[in-house]
Structures are given as C-alpha cells and as structure tokens.
A and B are shown apart, each in its own frame.
Chain A
C-alpha cells in the first residue's frame, strides 16, 4: 500500500550546524503533513506541520519544506543542539482528519557536541 518513507536512517551533525532530514511520500491524496520528534521512551512529539497549499512553513529553529511535484518533505533544524538528538518521523494524512496518520520509519539524529 502507499506509505511514507525516509531517505536517511541516521544523521550525525556537529552541534551548531544545521540539520536536514528528508522524507518521501507516495499518497498523492495526502494534503497534510506533520513532523514528529521522538525521544527514547517517550511518545512522538509534534514539531511542525504543513498543508499541501503551502511549500514552506517556519517555526522556532525549524522549517518544513514541501515539494508536491516530487512528493518530498524536508525538516530543517537550525543551529542543532544536543537536545535535538532523537528520532524524527514524518507523517501524512488528510486535513479532514478522517484518514489515520501514516508514518515513515524514522531518522535518528545524533548531535555531536
């Protein structure tokens, strides 16, 4: 079936550098995308979302980019900090909320101090 996937399973970055985590999705009907951060032993934590009528959305130190042409999402984290170390998941659904979230496998981000 259609699913969300990630290009890079692990990513190591130096503290202070910018991080980019990528995600490909395959369901063209999805119109809402969310990035979650999951620390060990905890549930996924909402980071930032984007609707399909946008191609960029910024939060605090995070930016999500959406390229609908190639069905690609990315999460950019500016000035990466040790507290950013976690597994990051992208998820897709529809804006009505009638479709459950479909998650990818996750990318582990390790920040080197």
Chain B
C-alpha cells in the first residue's frame, strides 16, 4: 500500500465529454504528481504540486487539461472535450521525501 488512492479506477467516456479524476493521499505530503501512461510505455510527467501551488506543467498538458490541489491534500485532474488520444492510464504519485515518488493504482481512461 503506497498510501495513495485514485478514483475512479476505470472510466469509459465518449469523445467530447469531460472527465475528472481524483487522487487522495492517505496522509498529507508536500508534493503530488500526475503522470500519464500509454500501453507499453513508461509514465510521462504531466504536472506537480507543492502543497496547493502547481509548480510545473509539461507541454503534454494541453489547454484541455486542468489540475487542482485545493488545501494541499487531494488533487483532481480534469480533461475537457476528451479525444481518443487521451485514452491512457492516469497515475498520481506522492513524495515522502523530495526525490522519492510513490504511485497510486491509476485511473484507466478509455475514450470511445
């Protein structure tokens, strides 16, 4: 158990719909990261938070993507107007120390 839960675990949506994923660390950690993973590839960084502040965003994070971390605890990742290319596993990770990252189970998104 890495201390990170993600919901939902699976999401199937039609192209053009909006989806929102949630990441809940069991206890508070300063840093929270979002990654995207497509089949057969390693996770790719999307964005990360230090407490409530979103400190870095990858160029993979298009304008249709938005992430929040109100109160510095849980985080949400929203994708607007989903496209088939958004189909992937979305992973949340937390830092216990600045350099170590522990991943949640992920949310599998399928856009039809």
Contacts and interface: CB of A to CB of B under 8 A. Distances in A.
Contacts of B103: 36, 43-46
B106 interface: yes
B71 interface: no
Contact of A43 (B97, B99, B104): B104
Given A100-B45, A105-B41, A46 B102 contact: yes
Give the interface size bracket for A toward B: 20 to 34
A7 to B, nearest CB: 15
A97 B44 contact: no
B85 interface: no
Given A43-B105, A97-B31, A49 B45 contact: no
Contacts, number: 67
Contact of B45 (A42, A44, A89, A101): A101
27 contacts: A32-B99, A41-B105, A43-B91, A43-B104, A44-B43, A44-B91, A45-B103, A46-B100, A46-B102, A46-B103, A49-B99, A89-B42, A91-B42, A94-B99, A95-B98, A96-B98, A97-B95, A98-B98, A100-B56, A101-B33, A101-B35, A102-B45, A103-B42, A105-B40, A105-B41, A105-B42, A106-B42
Interface of A: 4, 32, 34, 36, 41-46, 49, 89, 91, 93-98, 100-106
